[in-house]
Structure 1
């Protein structure tokens, strides 16, 4: 279902060091299962949700790169992210989306709610389950 009329702003969390005008595209490895190349680029209208994704990407990357959040602009149609919406949860409580079209970086966001050490540990534990052979499936 196309959600191109959904109002922004929109955000993307990553460890990539980007500049205004850069395009984020599909076809990259998943932050959660690097052996899977993603058919979509993911984003949210919740800055703290993007911050969480950035923190997870940094954690899985060994902590060598800083987590970053960017305000982004979709360049094409997009849909609710089925990894956190109707196929797994009712509605779209995280206001998360995905697109096959690129996202254009509008600005870097420097303020979002950072994870505490206890929260980071909780996510490490959740990710160990996700990344195990018995873990959750990524809807690609």
Structure 2
């Protein structure tokens, strides 16, 4: 695993891993996750980064909110390059990094799959979708 870098906004990355990525994609160990796909939260935005978290439950929530019809999946991932705190949920919008979320322009390598995390109820997912639909903030891409 690569070592964390100091992000441009000056806050040190808090975690050295393990890291997780939530999706509905059916992937295998060794596959690479890359940037360049539409945002799950604003489909008209093509993302310049790939996002991940140090919290399996956070990745599970991302999987539940992800586009597609496949089953929710949480993958154990390893950054292949430098990464930074996700400015969408850190100091640019919230103090610190409470969601322990990160992003990278370099790919993430799948190193395993996690099957145990706290799954959201349908009501919770509906609540999250409503919050995201009403969010007027811009994605920092």
TM-score, normalization: structure 2?
0.88
Match of 1:53 among 45, 59, 62: 62
CA contact (8 A) 2:63 2:74 kept: yes
- Aligned pairs (5 A) from 1:1-140: 1-2=6-7, 6-57=15-66, 60-61=67-68, 64-130=69-135, 135-140=136-141
**What's the C-alpha RMSD, in Å, of the aligned pairs?**
1.5
Question: CA separation of 1:86/1:112 partners in 2, compared to 1, >3 Å: closer, same or farther?
Answer: same
**Does the residue aligned with 1:72 lie in a helix, a strand or coil?**
strand
Q: Which runs of 4+ in 1 moved over 2 A?
A: 1-6
TM-fit CA distance, 1:6: 3.4
Q: Distance in 1 between matches of 2:139 and 2:14?
A: 26
- Please give the alpha-carbon distance, in whole angstroms, between the structure 1 residues aligned to 2:87 and 2:132: 19
Aligned residues: 132
- Structure 2 unmatched runs, 5+: 1-5
TM-score (norm 1): 0.88
